[in-house]
Structures are given as C-alpha cells and as structure tokens.
Chain A
Amino acid sequence: MSVWERSSTVRVVPPARPRKLAKVPFVELADGRLQGVVSSGSDIGRVYVSSVEAGTYAFSCSTNNNRPCGGARGAFCNHIRALVGEAVLQYGAERVARYLKVDVAGEQADAQGLTSAMTSTRPAQGDRSAAAQVFSRFLRHLAYLEFAPTTAPVPEMHWFPTTGAVA
C-alpha cells in the first residue's frame, strides 16, 4: 500500500475556501447536483433554490415557496450563474467541473468557462422536485450554528487535523 493508503490522517475532502456569503449563502456538490440557495436581490425574505444536474446540466430554479424563477425559462438564470460562480470560489473550478462532468480545457477552467461549456449544450429544464430537499438541506446546514460548543474532549477529532490550506 502507498503512504497515502496507510495514513490515518489524510484529508480526503479539501476544506471549503472562504468566500462572501451574502449573495449565495449555501452551495454544495451533493446528490449528483450542484445545488444551493441564492438570496433574492429584491426581497430579503425570499431565497431561490437553484440546481444543475451533473452530466446532463438539467437546471432548475424556484423560490423557497416553490414558485418558478422567471429567469430560468429555457436557459440558465442569473441565480444559477451566481451559484456556479460561488461554487467555483468555494471548491475550486477543477472540483466543480469534475463533479458536474464538464470538460473544460485548462484556460477555460473558471466560472465563466464552466457556465458557457454547459449552456452551449442547450441543457433542458429539470423538474423542481428537488427544491424542497435542497432547501431542507440548507436549513440543516444553518442549524449547525445552533448546536452548543462543549469543553469535554473529543479525541476522535485527532483524525481530522486542520490543514492550514485556507490563507
């Protein structure tokens, strides 16, 4: 076995890179989709739940009350474009491209390159069935702020050393 395979403390998932959260408070690569939540530009009480499916790039965008996004008829809306942009900031273009199965050459490996590579295939509009699930994952994510810290030792965390990768 290689050193990597024999190591107990290799970091399998790179840490999220810091980014500003105001516009896109939540983004994740999960359930075979790039999905997340985008704040509405006009109504602070409203958010859009947006997603792009890996491989097909089938896209979907609707409000948290399940009303369809007016911009996402036939093409990526601005919410989805913002989502791709913030995903690239948080995970890096390479990881996003790999997850979505987008083939971009070295120089095009940025948010714009990714977006145009996907839109050029004229992706179909997906169904909005995933929106409720994405939104509940966002709420679950927010709930992590509410759990109380503890000063009892958690020795298991020695398997998760910090990596200092975020500067």
Chain B
Amino acid sequence: MRADLLTDAVEGLDEALAAVDGFDQVLVGGLLRPQPAQAVALAGLADAVAGSPLAGRVAEAAEKTAAGAADEGHLMALAAARTALLGSVHDALVARVEDAVGRPRAEEPAAAASGVEHPVNLLVAARGWLCDLARAGWQGIDHELVGGAAPVVTALLSEPGLRRLAALLDGFAAELAASCPGATLERIPVRRWADLWSRAMLLTLPGADRAAAVAEATGRLLPLGVDVHEHATAVQAQVHAVFEPADGGTPRLVRAGVSAPKPDTVVGAGLWQLLRPHMSLLAAVSEGRAMELDAMPVTAEGDLIWDDARAALGESAEPFTTARVALPTAAAAPVTPVDRHPTRIAVPVLLEGYAVEDEGERVAFRVAGERLAVDAGRVPAAGPLTAETVASSAACIGLLRWDAGEFLVQPLAVERTVRKKAVAVHAGAWAGGTADKAGVRAEKAATDAVTVLRERAGRLLRK
C-alpha cells in the first residue's frame, strides 16, 4: 500500500469543506432570523456549487433563506448542495484510496433504481419536523421541538421499507433530546448534526433510498470481518467479504448486513443475539468458514440482501488468508450517487510490517514511514479484540475510513505473534456465539435482559 498517498493533501478538499463548515455554522444559530454572517455562509455554499446543475436552485434558496423567507423546497436545495459538496469530497478521497491500495474498481454503470413507493404522508411529516429543526437551529432546540419526532419515528419504524430514514431520525432525535436545551450546550457536534440533518432531508424525497438495481450472486463468499454500528435504539452488523463468482468472473468486494431496532438496554452480546437468527453468515464468521451462495440478491453497490435460504456453510476460510490471497484482486463496487459521503468510506485493507505507535489513548500504525491513526474505539464490546491486542499486533485486517480531516484504520482483525506463531484475533469472533468464558457471561447477562423485557412486554403491551 502506498500510505504516503493517504497523508498527502487532496486538492480542493479544504475549499469544499470550508463551504460545508460555513453552512454548518448557519444551522447552529438557525434560520428563523438570519444574521449577516449567515447570509455570507449561505452565499458561500451557493458559490461552491455554481458550476453544477444545482446552481440556479441553490442560489435562489440561499437568497430566500438569508432573507428569512425559506420554504421547504429552499431548505431541500441547501441540503442537496451540502450533500453534493461532500459527495465530491467522497469521490476525491475514494480516488486517493484506490491509488493507495491499488485494487481494481468494478466498472458497472449505476443502473436505474427500482423499488416500491413509500407512503408520502410520513415523508412529508418527517420533512416538516426537519425544517422546524433548521429554523430553530441547534442552539434553539428544546424538549417540545425534539419530542415532535417521536410520533414520526414510531410510524416510520412500522414501515419496513422506510427503515433507513427511521433509524436515522431515531438516533438523531435521541441525541438532540439528550442535548436539550440547546441554549446551554457547551459544545455542538457541528458537522455531525448537519450531516444527519441533510441526509434525513434527502431521504424524505420519495425514491431517494431505493436500493440500486439488484442482480444475483452465485459462488463462494469469503468473510474478512464484521463492522458493527449502533445507537441507543438500533443496531447493524455488516460483514465485509470477498465474493468469488462460480462462473470464474472477477472476484468482488461485497457486504452483507443485518439490522434491527432495539430497546436501549439491549447492549453488548445482546446485539449479536438480536441479529444472529436472521443471518447465518454471522455463525460462519465465528467458525472461520466460507459460505456458498446460490442466487443471492446483490445490489450494484455490492450489498448482498441476505437470505438464509440461498446460503450454505462452506469450507473453512481463514480471513487473513483471504486478505492475502483474494483481497488484492477483488474489485470494489461503485457507490450510489446519493450515498456518496466521506463517512461511508469503509475500504477493507490488509496492513503488515508496520510499527505500532502507542501514545496512551491513541494508537497509530507507522506504515511505510507514514503515520496512520487507528480507530480502536469502533471495535464491538462483545468480542475478544481489544485496544491492547491491536497495540501488540503484527498484521491487521481493517477498514480504511476518513473522518475530521484524516484517514483512519478501523481494525476488524489482527495477528499477533505468540511463541513464534501467528495468532489471529477477530473483532466479530463472538458474532455467532462463543465458548470464551467472558463471552459466555456476556451472553447470559444479555439473555436475561431480553427475557425480562419480553416477559414485561407480554404482560403489559396487550392490555
């Protein structure tokens, strides 16, 4: 890997992010009574997309918003402009990663999206709440305003096709609620909340979250590792893997995920217990096995839409072998236009021959002379991989990510040398269950928690 490309400056990045930051500051104060500084920032956002097809609409939206006369359409245009700018940042960063990693990219044109229409009234309700939020600004949020999201989220959650918007709004609203009142906030996650706001805005456009065209995948799936996402009331596990088509075509990088809403008291091993019954792949990951796929649906973005009926447990497949042998030739799928954002960057890489720089809180790998920060905090709690294990590792399968201006490695698995032998430790080792003593204890505690909740729910919900 050419690590130097990951630490070099990317041309145009600072300018694009400056326009984004300017707009994000506008959302801090809110759009109800725009101040001169906010007008300047809004004009800056419009200028930044002046060469794009959005130019006209964003210029008008910036002007109306600065005058305090923005309607929902104008706010949508601003959200689209910000999304487009971060999309360009995403593209520049991904090009950099591809050069650094030196893997091929699958040349598949993003085909037309397909899918069912969602109930529009729910989307309108969500958009209304988001617009009220933008008018109030992060400093203007209070319990009443934030609480307005609850009925919308409840209704969205009951529509399986709207899970993306539901999960996003639910997590976002919980953060806002925990931060009320906004007037007394000591610090504000400025870029994050603007990200969540603009992303939610776009998802309220009918069809924005349709999955890219779906094809079928038949062949062998070789897991690399598991990436876990969670907020208080949702969890998702995504398995990154190399797919080798049975017809001998180019191997591809794919993901297979499963997600679920959850009560906030279901944590740790409880997350695995919630997801395990719905994706046999998690058990295969724990056992270090490949899986044979038969006509598994896969999106143009490389996301398998997992169906246990189309998968069978295969031979044993050590992820580090996969990473050394199959990963270098696997092609990455293109990203759907609306999903282009630096936070979405999660590129599987194999790192070897690095030196570990352990500076207490923050661990970094020195790769080919370049310092690459390690984001060990993203490792799931219910698993054997710890920051200490990462710090004593000699090889690492990780996801290359980008946040707050720098590339980071999120470890999925590491190899350590113990008595002259390489021993692998996987973050997702407990995904399918475990015999590890600490793991068994965590499983027991999680089972008890869910049992109590189910008992209470059975007794109280249907009254």
Query: What residues make up the interface of A, taking CB atoms closer than 8 Å to B?
Result: 1-10, 12-13, 15-22, 25-26, 29-32, 39, 44-45, 47, 64, 90, 138-167
Contacts and interface: CB of A to CB of B under 8 A. Distances in A.
Question: 8 nearest interchain CB pairs?
Answer: A149-B260, A157-B229, A151-B306, A142-B457, A156-B168, A7-B404, A157-B236, A166-B381
B262 A151 contact: no
6 contacts: A2-B187, A6-B404, A16-B265, A21-B448, A145-B263, A165-B377
A47 B453 CA distance: 13
B305 interface: yes
B292 interface: no
A18 B449 contact: yes
Given A6-B21, A16-B265, 12 more contacts: A2-B187, A12-B175, A17-B267, A18-B265, A21-B448, A138-B460, A141-B264, A147-B158, A152-B163, A152-B305, A159-B196, A166-B268
B143 A153 contact: no
A141 B460 CA distance: 12
Nearest to A166: B381
B114 interface: no
A149 B258 contact: yes
A144 B261 contact: yes
A20 B445 CA distance: 8
Contact of B403 (A8, A47, A139): A8
Interface stretch (B61-69, B77-85, B215-223, B341-349): B341-349
Interface residues of B, number: 95
Contacts of B174: 13
A159 B192 contact: yes
A157 B259 contact: yes
Interface stretch (B121-129, B274-282, B415-423): B274-282
Contacts of A156: 164-165, 167-168, 199, 203
B445 A18 contact: yes
A15 B236 contact: no
Nearest to B188: A5
A12 B304 CA distance: 31
B228 interface: yes
Contacts of A20: 445, 448-449, 452
Contacts of B242: none
Given A8-B343, A160-B229, A164-B379, A147 B261 contact: yes
Given A25-B452, A148-B160, A9 B403 contact: yes
Given A4-B189, A151-B306, A159 B21 contact: no
Contacts of A13: 174-175, 178, 231-232
B195 interface: yes
A22 B452 contact: yes
Interface string B406-449: 00001000000000000000000000000000000000011011
B192 A12 contact: yes
Nearest to B457: A142
B192 A10 contact: yes
Contact of A16 (B160, B232, B405): B232
Interface string B48-88: 00000000000000000000000000000000000000000
A164 B380 contact: yes
Interface string B221-261: 00000001111111010100000000000000001111111
**Dominant secondary structure at the A interface:** loop
Contacts of B3: none
B153 to A, nearest CB: 10
A21 B265 contact: yes
Contact of B377 (A26, A44, A145, A164): A164
B375 to A, nearest CB: 8
Contacts of B287: none
B461 interface: yes
A21 B451 CA distance: 9
A28 to B, nearest CB: 8
B177 interface: yes
B145 interface: no
Contacts of B234: 154, 157, 160
B460 A47 contact: yes
Given A8-B192, A162-B381, A145 B259 contact: no
B211 interface: yes
A21 B452 contact: yes
Interface string B340-358: 0111101000000000000
A30 B211 CA distance: 36
B179 interface: yes
A12 B189 contact: yes
Contacts of A32: 143
Nearest to A17: B267
Interface centre among A12, A22, A140 (most CB of B within 10 A): A12
Contacts of A163: 377-378, 381
A149 B278 contact: yes
A136 to B, nearest CB: 10
Interface centre among A6, A31, A32 (most CB of B within 10 A): A6
Contacts of B270: 18
B157 interface: yes
A167 B439 CA distance: 10
